[in-house]
């Protein structure tokens, strides 16, 4: 049983920074891909970024260099450093893991950006 636990959400002023972390436990493939998604009220869930076990990362177009995804393969953790946050970045941020062709989601962590 794979479980994901996010942490690091909170309230930040526009222009500020926030760091999210997600820890995965269980039987996880060494080639697992780790993702961050987000979902704002009334909107569809969208991809923020993903990173492969080799460290290759891709970002959603809206990121525009403001966020950095990272991972620690030994600890099965993935992080998301978010800078220059805008009110439009407010959402529930979810961690996702793709391992052995199965997908797992975390419960999500709320990010609120005040203008």
Nearest in space to 92 (alpha carbons), one of 78, 110, 104, 106: 110
Tell me how far apart the alpha carbons of residues 107 and 94 are, in angstroms, rounded to a whole number.
7
Strands 102-105 and 10-13: unpaired
The token pair at 72 is: 């620690």
* pLDDT tens by residue, the chain, 115 residues: 899 999 999 999 999 999 999 999 999 999 999 999 999 999 999 999 999 999 999 999 999 999 999 999 999 999 999 999 999 999 999 999 999 999 999 999 999 999 8
Sign of CA dihedral 103, 5, 79, 45: positive
Tell me how far apart the alpha carbons of residues 105 and 115 are, in angstroms, rounded to a whole number.
30
pLDDT value at residue 54: 96
């Amino acid at each position: 049983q794979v479980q994901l636990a996010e942490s690091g959400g909170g309230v930040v002023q526009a222009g500020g920074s926030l760091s999210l972390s997600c820890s995965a436990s269980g039987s996880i493939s060494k080639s697992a891909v780790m993702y961050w998604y987000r979902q704002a009220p009334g909107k569809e869930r969208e991809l923020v970024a993903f990173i492969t076990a080799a460290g290759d990362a891709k970002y959603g177009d809206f990121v525009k260099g403001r966020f950095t995804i990272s991972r620690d393969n030994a600890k099965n953790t993935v992080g998301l450093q978010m800078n220059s946050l805008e009110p439009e970045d407010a959402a529930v941020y979810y961690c996702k893991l793709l391992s052995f062709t199965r997908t797992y989601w975390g419960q999500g962590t709320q990010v609120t950006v005040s203008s």
